[in-house]
């Protein structure tokens, strides 16, 4: 192994340890933490790691502080961003059950996120509850919303307004979700693929 | 005059309504375009010359500030609509209603990439934890009981308690009664109509002693040993002792009489006495 390769192999290992094992209350590592541990070339280390993870259907996900993802992020923007390892592809409904989610709860999360998104990033909790009530039993609605808040998908302020929180930004491709939902009508005419 | 006052009243009410409307839009995420900014600016401009009092100007400033927040919300709204993340909420609600739960789930799964993390103990962390455990002293050693200090019990004298300020030189009631007796004697010797000037009784050679006597006199009055006679027009206060303490005094509605016993007052009293 060349010196250069060995140099990056060691750093990639360290990056794996930092990204896979939770270091704080919430998962994810800040850019400045990676810089301190891996050196200033940590973006390069992460791109090598991302290449390795491709084969495992995983990816290194960067979530920037601002909602918009910059095309050519500066080092400063990267330092303030948070890095996660997420699934690169998709889970099947069966697999989703295996990771601890009931179909109802996950569908409720999908509805909640898309509704908040369509309202410009915040929506009154009451409206979301009314929407969920159409397809979920009333006693589960409040519990589910509280659970989404606990997991970090949603945040709620003092005025009972719901917002999208850190986990939604890290895990959900919001553009893709909106596009899929708006195209759902045509898809719904095709046979249901749920197993 | 009347129409102007009326105009100010109407103006205030309108500003309050504007503030409430803007607050509602901000807090309950109502459509920011329900606020007609031009109309509101016209109203604010119309009433501005009438404002003279600071509170009216503050109200005017708050209305402008709230309106600025609504304009910001309108800007955000336009910006959001121009992005690919915008979808008409009513259209989306309709889609959500018509689509089945499983269909929605399938759509969501296509956009959901959950975070991967491990919860696993490693050999390295285990061995480190063992090393720490081995080096850790037992609780008994870490939380050793401190030996309790040994005291020798011995009787103490009243003088020692007085010197340590635990006891006063005289017991309180004893001191109060002796002051009462002194007051009665003073009234007999120097008083007129069974009373004596407050300052003539309270005043002493030092200011500290005067303050102490004033403090004790306040208890004499409160506990019904004496009463005060205040003559506001003459700016004089007299103190009048009772032959027997009035037991009912405490049950009655008590009135507080503030008396300034400042160093200046005391010096003035001393000057008057010597002259």
Question: Domain extents for chain A?
Answer: 3-89, 94-186
Q: In this predicted structure, what is the pLDDT of residue A95?
A: 81
Q: Which fold has domain A3-89?
A: 3.90.1150
Q: Which tens digit of pLDDT belongs to each residue from A142-153? A: 999 999 999 999
B115 to A167: CB separation less than 8 angstroms, yes or no: yes
What is the reported pTM? Answer: 0.53
**Percentage of chain A exceeding pLDDT 90:** 48
Nearest-Cα distance to chain A for B23, in Å, is: 12
A89, A56 Cβ separation under 8 angstroms: no
Nearest-Cα distance to chain B for A51, in Å, is: 16
Does position A171 have pLDDT exceeding 90, yes or no? yes
Could you give the 3-state DSSP secondary structure of residue B103?
helix
Residues of B in contact with A187 (CB under 8 A): 103, 107
B120 to A188: CB separation less than 8 angstroms, yes or no: no
B99 to A84: CB separation less than 8 angstroms, yes or no: no
- Report B:214-273 residues touching A (Cβ under 8 A): none
B25, B34 Cβ separation under 8 angstroms: yes
B116 to A61: CB separation less than 8 angstroms, yes or no: no
Q: In this predicted structure, what is the pLDDT of residue B166?
A: 61
For the domain covering A94-186, report its CATH number.
1.10.10.10
Rg (Cα) of chain A, in Å, rounded? 19
> Is the minimum CB–CB distance between B88 and chain A shorter than 8 Å?
yes
**SS3 per residue for A6-45:** HHHHHHHHHHHHHHHECCCCCCCEEHHHHHHHHCCCHHHH
pLDDT tens for chain B, 275 residues: list them: 557 788 888 888 889 999 988 888 887 667 788 888 888 899 999 888 888 888 889 989 999 999 998 888 888 777 766 665 666 777 777 777 777 778 888 888 899 999 988 777 777 777 888 888 888 887 777 776 666 666 666 766 666 766 766 666 667 778 888 899 999 999 988 888 888 999 889 998 888 889 888 988 888 888 888 988 888 777 788 999 988 887 654 455 567 778 888 888 888 888 888 77
Phi, psi of A124 (to 5 degrees): -65, 140
Section A101-126 average pLDDT: 86
Burial class (CB in 10 A: 0-12, 13-18, 19+), A32: middle
The H or E element containing residue B14 is helix B2-27
Nearest-Cα distance to chain B for A140, in Å, is: 15
Nearest-Cα distance to chain A for B68, in Å, is: 19
Rg (Cα) of chain B, in Å, rounded? 41
A177 to B86: CB separation less than 8 angstroms, yes or no: no
> Is the minimum CB–CB distance between B109 and chain A shorter than 8 Å?
yes
Taken in order A31, A35, A37, A40, the sign of the CA dihedral is positive
CA nearest to A108, candidates A69, A154, A145: A145
Q: Where are the domains of chain B?
A: 2-81, 172-274
Q: Which tens digit of pLDDT belongs to each residue from B84-128? A: 566 677 777 777 777 777 888 888 889 999 998 877 777 777 788
User: What is the pLDDT of chain A when averaged over all its residues?
Assistant: 85
Q: Which tens digit of pLDDT belongs to each residue from A20-64? A: 988 788 889 999 999 999 999 999 999 999 999 999 999 999 999
CA atoms within 13 A on the CB side of A24: 10
Nearest-Cα distance to chain B for A101, in Å, is: 11
Residues counted in chain A: 195
Q: In this predicted structure, what is the pLDDT of residue B28?
A: 66
Residue A92 pLDDT grade (very low, low, confident, very high; cuts 50, 70, 90):
confident
CA nearest to A66, candidates B127, B79, B112: B79
Q: In this predicted structure, what is the pLDDT of residue B162?
A: 67
CA atoms within 13 A on the CB side of B180: 21
Q: In this predicted structure, what is the pLDDT of residue B249?
A: 47
CA angle A144, A148, A151 (to 5 degrees): 135
Residue A192 pLDDT grade (very low, low, confident, very high; cuts 50, 70, 90):
very low
Q: Which residue of A has its CA nearest to B81?
A: A120
Q: What is the DSSP secondary structure assignment for residue B192, as one 8-state letter?
A: B
Q: In this predicted structure, what is the pLDDT of residue A99?
A: 73
Predicted ipTM of the assembly = 0.80
Does position A81 have pLDDT exceeding 90, yes or no? yes
> Is the minimum CB–CB distance between B115 and chain A shorter than 8 Å?
yes
Q: Which residue of A has its CA nearest to B76?
A: A120
For the domain covering B172-274, report its CATH number.
1.10.10.580
Residues of B in contact with A159 (CB under 8 A): 27-28
Q: Which residue of A has its CA nearest to B89?
A: A118
Q: Which residue has the higher pLDDT, A31 or A185?
A: A31
Rounded to whole angstroms, the Cα distance separating A153 from A150 reads 8
């Amino acid at each position: 192994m060349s010196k250069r390769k060995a140099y990056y192999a060691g750093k990639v290992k360290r990056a794996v340890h930092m990204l896979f094992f939770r270091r704080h209350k919430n998962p994810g590592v800040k850019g400045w933490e990676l810089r301190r541990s891996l050196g200033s070339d940590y973006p390069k280390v992460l791109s090598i790691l991302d290449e390795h993870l491709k084969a495992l259907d995983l990816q290194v996900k960067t979530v920037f502080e601002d909602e918009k993802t910059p095309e050519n992020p500066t080092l400063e923007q990267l330092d303030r961003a948070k890095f996660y390892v997420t699934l690169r592809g998709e889970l099947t409904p069966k697999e989703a059950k295996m990771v601890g989610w009931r179909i109802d709860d996950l569908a409720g999360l999908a509805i909640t996120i898309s509704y908040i998104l369509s309202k410009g990033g915040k929506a009154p909790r009451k409206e979301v509850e009314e929407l969920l009530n159409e397809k979920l039993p009333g006693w589960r609605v409040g519990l589910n919303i509280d659970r989404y808040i606990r997991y970090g998908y949603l945040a709620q302020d003092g005025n009972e307004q719901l917002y999208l929180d850190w986990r939604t930004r890290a895990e959900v491709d919001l553009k893709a979700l909106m596009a899929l939902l708006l195209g759902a009508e045509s898809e719904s005419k095709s046979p249901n693929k749920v197993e | 005059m009347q129409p102007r006052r009326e105009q100010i009243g109407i103006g205030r009410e309108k500003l309050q309504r504007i503030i409430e409307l803007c607050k509602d839009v901000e807090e309950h995420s109502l459509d920011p375009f329900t606020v007609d900014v031009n109309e509101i600016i016209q109203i604010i401009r119309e009433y501005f010359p009438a404002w003279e009092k600071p509170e009216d100007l503050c109200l005017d400033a708050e209305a402008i500030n709230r309106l600025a927040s609504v304009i910001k919300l309108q800007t955000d709204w336009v910006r959001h609509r121009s992005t690919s993340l915008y979808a008409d909420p009513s259209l989306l609600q309709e889609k959500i209603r018509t689509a089945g739960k499983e269909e929605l789930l399938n759509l969501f799964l296509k956009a959901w990439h959950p975070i991967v993390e491990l919860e696993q103990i490693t050999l390295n962390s285990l061995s480190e934890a063992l090393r720490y455990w081995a080096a850790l002293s037992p609780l008994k050693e870490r939380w050793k009981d401190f030996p309790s200090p040994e005291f020798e019990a011995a009787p103490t004298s009243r003088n020692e308690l007085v010197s340590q300020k635990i006891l006063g030189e005289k017991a309180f009631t004893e001191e109060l009664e002796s002051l009462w007796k002194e007051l009665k004697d003073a009234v007999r010797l120097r008083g007129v109509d069974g009373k004596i000037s407050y300052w003539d009784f309270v005043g002493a050679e030092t200011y500290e002693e005067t303050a102490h006597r004033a403090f004790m006199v306040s208890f004499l009055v409160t506990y019904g040993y004496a009463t005060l006679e205040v003559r506001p027009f003459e700016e004089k206060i007299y103190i009048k002792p009772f032959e027997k303490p009035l037991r009912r005094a405490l049950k009655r509605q008590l009135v507080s009489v503030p008396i300034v016993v400042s160093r200046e007052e005391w010096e003035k009293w001393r000057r008057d006495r010597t002259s």
